[in-house]
Amino acid sequence: MSEPPPLPSQPPPSGEKPVVVGKKGFVRALASILDWLFGFVALLALLAACSVVPVLNFLSLGYLLNVSGTIARTGRIRDGFIGVRKASVIGSIAAGTWLVVWPARLVSGMWRDAELIAPGSSVAKAWHAGLVAVIVVVIAHIVWACVRGGKIRHFLWPQPLRFMHWLRTPEKFGNLQRIVTEYVVALRLPFYFWLGLRGFVGALAWLIVPVGILLIATKLPLGFSILVSLIGGILLLLVAIHLPFLQARFAQTDRFSALFELREVRRLFHRAPLAFWVSLLVTLLFAVPLYLLKIELTPRELAWLPSLLFVLFIFPARLLTGWAMSRATRHEQPRHWFWRWTARLGIVPVGLAYVIVVYITPYLSWNGTWSLLEQHAFLVPAPLMAL
C-alpha cells in the first residue's frame, strides 16, 4: 500500500521548494475586493446620473426601494448592495474608453492646428488621414475590450493575436449579441422603472395633502398662514414617521396596496421599535443636508454633484430601513412596553425637527416655496420638479 501524502504542516521532501499556499487566492481576493469597491463607486455615479434625468430618475428611486425591500426579505444588509459587479463592468468600460480615446484626441488636436496654420495643405490632409485611422483602431479596440469582458486590463492590453483569432471564429457576432442581450436583461431596468414609478405615485399620494397645505399657507395672511401651516405640519409629521416603512413594505411585498397598509407598519413597529427609531432618525437626518445644498443655484455643469451627494445620503438610509423591517419581520412577539414607548417618544422630536426644516426651507432655498416639493427622503434623489 502506498504511503499517504504528507500533511501541509510537514516539511516538503528534500530537494523541493516550499510552495506558498494561498498566495494566488489572496491576490484574487484582493482583486475581487477592489473590483467590488470600484463597482460600488460606479453604482453611486450611475444612480446620481439617472436621478437628474426626468423619467430615468424612476430607475434611481426603484433601485433604492429595492435595496430596502431586499434587505427586509433576507435580513442581510450585504444583500442590499445589488448589481455592484454589473456596475463595475459599466464603470470599467467608461473609464477604459476615456483612456483609449486620448490618442484620437491628440491627433485631432494636431489636425486642427495644421488646418489653422495651413488649411488644405498636405500636412493637414496627412493628419486628417491619420485621425481617421486612429479612430478606426480605437473603435475596434473598445469593441474588442468589451467583448473580452470590459475590464480595465482589457483596455490596457488588447492582445492582438487573440483578436485576430476571434475574427476567424464562426458565429462571433451571434455570440456577441447573446452576451449583450443577457447582460442588459440582467440589469432589470423595466423592473426598477416600474417599482420606482409605483413608489413615487404612492409617496406622492401621501405627501400631496400636507405639502399642498403648506404651499397654500405661504400665500395667506400671517394669522391664517400660521394656523394652516400648523395643520400641514402635523399632517406632514404623521406622514414622515410612517412613509419610509410603507415604502419598504411595498418593495418587500411588491404590492402597491402595501403603501397604504398603515396598520401593518404599526404592528411591525411594535416588534422592533428601536430599530424603527434608528432607521427613521438616519433617514430624516440625512435628508436635511440635501436642503442646505439648495441655498444657492447649482451651475448646470455641476448638476450631477448634488445628486451624487443625495445618493450618498439616501443609500444608507434605505439600507437601515430595510434592516429595521427585517428585524420586525423575524420577531413574532411585540417588544417590551418600555422599549415601545421609548421609541415613540424618540420618534416625535425626530419627525418634528424634520418638519421644521421643511417649513423654513422656502426661506432659504433658491427655489422658494416650490422647494416644499423636494421631499428627498421619500422621492427621487433629484428635486421633484425634475420630473
Query: Domain check: are 284 and 334 in the same one?
Result: yes
pLDDT at residue number 201: 92
Domain that holds residue 326: 190-386
Query: Domain check: are 234 and 328 in the same one?
Result: yes
Query: Domain check: are 180 and 197 in the same one?
Result: no
Section 181-195 average pLDDT? 89
Confidence of residue 342 (pLDDT cuts 50, 70, 90): very high
Query: Domain check: are 226 and 366 in the same one?
Result: yes
Query: Mean pLDDT in the chain?
Result: 83
- Global pTM reads 0.82
Minimum mean pLDDT among 2-6, 75-79, 85-89, 353-357: which range?
A: 2-6
| Domain presence at residue 269 | yes
| Domain presence at residue 198 | yes
| Domain presence at residue 62 | no
Tell me how far apart the alpha carbons of residues 18 and 325 are, in angstroms, rounded to a whole number.
52
Higher pLDDT, 53 or 1: 53
Tell me how far apart the alpha carbons of residues 277 and 375 are, in angstroms, rounded to a whole number.
20
| Domain presence at residue 59 | no
Confidence of residue 197 (pLDDT cuts 50, 70, 90): very high
Look up residue 215 and give its three cell numbers. 404651499
| Domain presence at residue 244 | yes
Largest Cα span, the chain: 101
Whether the pLDDT of residue 348 is over 60: the answer is: yes
| Domain presence at residue 48 | no
Higher pLDDT, 182 or 205: 205
pLDDT at residue number 3: 47
Q: Could you say which of 149, 171, 186 is where a domain stops?
A: 186
Tell me how far apart the alpha carbons of residues 61 and 201 are, in angstroms, rounded to a whole number.
11
pLDDT at residue number 263: 92
pLDDT at residue number 303: 61
| Domain presence at residue 44 | no
Contact of 372 with 361, CB cutoff 8 Å:
yes
Higher pLDDT, 219 or 105: 105
Give per-residue pLDDT as tens, 125-169. 888 888 899 899 888 888 888 888 888 888 888 777 777 777 777
Residue 353 belongs to what H/E stretch?
helix 337-360
| Domain presence at residue 52 | no
- Provide the residue type at 381 as one letter: P
Query: Domain check: are 177 and 321 in the same one?
Result: no
State the distance between the two ends of the chain, measured CA to CA, in whole angstroms: 77
Q: Could you say which of 123, 154, 186 is where a domain stops?
A: 186
Cβ contacts of 63-66, under 8 Å, gap ≥ 24:
63/192, 63/196, 64/314, 64/315, 64/318, 64/381, 65/195, 65/196, 65/199, 65/247, 65/248, 65/250, 65/251, 65/318, 66/191, 66/192, 66/195, 66/251
Query: Domain check: are 236 and 370 in the same one?
Result: yes
pLDDT at residue number 2: 44
Query: Domain check: are 245 and 303 in the same one?
Result: yes
Tell me how far apart the alpha carbons of residues 299 and 136 are, in angstroms, rounded to a whole number.
36
pLDDT at residue number 298: 63
pLDDT at residue number 8: 45
pLDDT at residue number 200: 92
In percent, the amount of the chain with pLDDT more than 70 equals: 87
Whether the pLDDT of residue 246 is over 90: the answer is: yes
Round the CA-based radius of gyration of the chain to a whole number and report it: 28
Query: Domain check: are 149 and 92 in the same one?
Result: yes
Query: Domain check: are 159 and 194 in the same one?
Result: no
Q: Could you say which of 186, 220, 248 is where a domain stops?
A: 186
pLDDT at residue number 363: 73
Section 46-56 average pLDDT? 84
Query: Domain check: are 245 and 131 in the same one?
Result: no
Query: Domain check: are 244 and 362 in the same one?
Result: yes
Confidence of residue 291 (pLDDT cuts 50, 70, 90): confident
Query: CB atoms < 10 A from the CB of 96, how many?
Result: 21
pLDDT at residue number 368: 64
- Provide the residue type at 30 as one letter: L
Higher pLDDT, 320 or 121: 320
Q: What's the total number of domains in the chain?
A: 2
Query: Domain check: are 347 and 231 in the same one?
Result: yes
